[in-house]
């Protein structure tokens, strides 16, 4: 079955969203490097690489379906934040937004009875649960320990192990 034009357009749009995510996390990593928080910088750099992989997975899927991939323009991300807590709150909210985007893709694929796309999207549904859990968990930890220097230092050391 041929993939629909609407589905191809929606996936191309999501490829852009994944690259935008990658850039947001790369900018967060640069912010942490500058603040001397190397564990957090390392965590964000890994997240950046994961987002590039998410984009590539969609790209490969479109290739597999014989569809045209449009390499998108990437939006310039925010550069500065008040503190580590604000960064991770932003990341958590961003992941919730991405989840809502993935769910819309699922809705579209279901409506079109595009079972191949639905099957591919299952990986993203699971991945989003993990992404929200990771970022939300760090927010909770920073809130629990306090986002002062001491709490931030403890979380920074922990995130270095990612």
Q: What are phi and psi of 70, to 5 degrees?
A: -110, 115
Q: Is 84 helix (H, G, I), strand (E, B) or coil?
A: helix
With CB atoms as reference, the residue minimizing the distance to ligand OFO is 21
Contact call for residue 84 and ligand OFO (CB under 6 A): no
Question: Which of 95, 147, 155, 159 is the binder for ligand OFO (CB under 6 A)?
Answer: 95
Question: What are the CA-CA distances from residue 143 to residues 98, 113, 139 (Å)?
Answer: 23, 43, 6
What are the CB-based long-range contacts (under 8 Å, 24+) for 141-149?
Answer: 142/84, 142/85, 142/88, 143/85, 147/83, 147/84, 147/85
Question: What are the CA-CA distances from residue 77 to residues 16, 31, 124 (Å)?
Answer: 13, 11, 23
Q: Which residues contact 123 (CB under 8 A, 6 or more apart)?
A: 57
Contact call for residue 132 and ligand OFO (CB under 6 A): no
Contact call for residue 54 and ligand OFO (CB under 6 A): yes
Q: Least distance (Å) from ligand OFO to the CB of residue 109? A: 17
Question: Which of 98, 108, 109, 142 is the binder for ligand OFO (CB under 6 A)?
Answer: 98
Contact call for residue 45 and ligand OFO (CB under 6 A): no
Q: Least distance (Å) from ligand OFO to the CB of residue 113? A: 25
Contact call for residue 114 and ligand OFO (CB under 6 A): no
Contact call for residue 156 and ligand OFO (CB under 6 A): no
Taking the least distance from each CB to ligand OFO, the nearer of 50 and 154 is 50
Inter-residue contact 142 to 132 (CB < 8 Å): no
Contact call for residue 105 and ligand OFO (CB under 6 A): no
Residues in touch with ligand OFO (CB under 6 A): 18, 21, 51, 54, 95, 98, 131
């Amino acid at each position: 079955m041929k993939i629909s034009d609407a589905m191809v357009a929606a996936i191309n749009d999501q490829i852009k969203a994944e690259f935008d995510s990658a850039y947001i996390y790369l900018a967060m990593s640069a912010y942490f490097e500058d603040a001397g928080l190397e564990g957090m910088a390392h965590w964000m750099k890994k997240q950046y690489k994961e987002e590039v992989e998410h984009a590539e997975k969609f790209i490969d899927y479109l290739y597999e379906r014989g569809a045209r991939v449009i390499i998108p323009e990437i939006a310039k991300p925010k550069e500065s934040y008040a503190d580590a807590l604000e960064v991770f709150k932003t990341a958590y909210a961003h992941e919730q937004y991405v989840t809502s985007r993935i769910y819309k893709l699922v809705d579209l694929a279901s409506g079109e009875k595009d079972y191949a796309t639905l099957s591919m999207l299952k990986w993203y549904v699971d991945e989003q649960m993990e992404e929200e859990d990771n970022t939300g968990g760090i927010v909770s930890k920073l809130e629990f320990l306090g986002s002062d220097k001491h709490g931030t230092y403890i979380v920074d050391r922990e995130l270095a192990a990612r």
